[in-house]
Amino acid sequence: MTGPGVSRRRALERFGALLAASPLLPAQELAGEPPGRITPRQEAVNVFEVAAVAERKLPATVYSSIGGGDRRAFERLTFRPRMLVNVAEIDLTTELLGEKMFAPILAGPVWQQQQFHPEGELAAARGASLARTVMVVSARSSYPIAQIAAATKTTLWIQDYPEADVGAVRKRIEAALAAGCKAACLTLGTPYAPAGGAHHPAKLAPMGQPRMDWKLIENLARSLKAPLLLKGIMTPEEARLAVAAGAGGLVVSNHGGMFAEGLAAPIEVLASVVDEVAGKAPVLVDGSFRRGTDILKALALGARAVLVGRPVMWGLAAYGAEGVETVLNMLQSELARSMGLCGKPNLAGLDRSLVKIHRR
């Protein structure tokens, strides 16, 4: 039944290619292109192929800051799909902080993006706009926030770090809000610079504010005229304190393992944080999300949305603004397909019955 002019071997090759691209199979990094050939953007089928292009374009020391990721926790979550459900139309829309979103996927904050592409955050913002999603901009960006806001029509949030002078943090956030940002995200748990790696020796160098406490967070949240999300929440106890301090949202995150070793994966602790918050504030999550299936698992565990950082930077480094759009569109499409295969036509129907957690 292969049709005229199509050999059985060729038909099997095509079928194998379809299976390999399926988001419901364990993600595997592809072997890459022959030396000298860069995969055209239109030919990339998943974010791993985009990553391979980014790695070839960037110096090793630069790529090391966005390469890798620990995906073992995702492998311990499997789906329990529903059958005979009408999935002719898949609706990815959700509401976050009072704003309707096309899909529950945000471009997460990454500092100094000009190291990945000459246009840095300007190109990333254009790509996020083309993909119809929110972009979280680091206060340590390559361009002024006002210039980034002027380059895009998409919703922007500002992300910053605690400092001894809370007034300075407030001033930067208020300037970003005045430039058009709709929310602020404060990254917790980073009193020192990132942990050392192959290209970055470890140093006990201050980065955030080691003396920051919940009272300062409460004062900052009260003083802002926009929601303040807290990024770095990893336990129910911290989630309870964050909500009590007036946080408008929580981001479950271990910061990609860059600042400390031995931390749990965010997806492992997500459900406990969601249960503690009990709907008082939206809970988001980041951490090695590479496929639509990863995102679906987080949504089933109770996350309102997922932040994606490194894959977006792969797209930026590989293809500029169009690469950012491509990566986000890939994840949106994979999420929609995975929902359809699991018998879930919309986000409202997602709950923990969709996933089975396999213990170590």
Is 199 an annotated catalytic residue? no
- Decide: 101 and 134 in contact? Cβ < 8 Å: yes
Instruction: Give the pLDDT mean for 229-241.
Output: 98
Q: What are 45-76's pLDDT values in tens digits?
A: 999 999 999 999 999 999 999 998 889 999 99
Instruction: Give the pLDDT mean for 223-228.
Output: 96
CA-nearest of 326, 321, 267 to 298 is: 267
Confidence of residue 203 (pLDDT cuts 50, 70, 90): low
- Residue 280 belongs to a domain with what CATH number? 3.20.20.70
- Decide: 265 and 252 in contact? Cβ < 8 Å: no
Q: Is the pLDDT at 259 greater than 60, yes or no?
A: no
50, part of any domain: no
261, part of any domain: yes
User: Per the structure, how many domains does the chain have?
Assistant: 1
| Residue 266: Cβ within 10 Å count | 28
Share of the chain above pLDDT 70, in %: 82
Q: Which of 117, 199, 200, 255 is catalytic?
A: 255
Q: What are 147-197's pLDDT values in tens digits?
A: 999 999 999 999 999 887 888 999 999 999 999 999 999 999 755 455 554
Task: Identify any residues that bridge with 99 across adjacent strands, giving them in sequence order.
Answer: 96
92, part of any domain: yes
Confidence of residue 212 (pLDDT cuts 50, 70, 90): confident
The DSSP annotation for 266-284 comes to HHHHHHHHHHHHTTSS-EE
61, part of any domain: no
List the structure tokens of 311.
Answer: 């894959």
pTM of the model: 0.85
The angle formed by the CA atoms of residues 182, 185 and 190, to the nearest 5 degrees, is 165
Q: Is the pLDDT at 136 greater than 50, yes or no?
A: yes
342, part of any domain: yes
48, part of any domain: no
Q: Is the pLDDT at 234 greater than 80, yes or no?
A: yes
Burial class (CB in 10 A: 0-12, 13-18, 19+), 28: exposed
56, part of any domain: no
pLDDT for position 2: 44
Mean pLDDT, the chain, whole residue set: 88
Tell me which residue range forms the domain holding 255: 72-357
pLDDT for position 209: 55
239, part of any domain: yes
Residue that wins the pLDDT comparison between 199 and 113:
113
pLDDT for position 194: 54
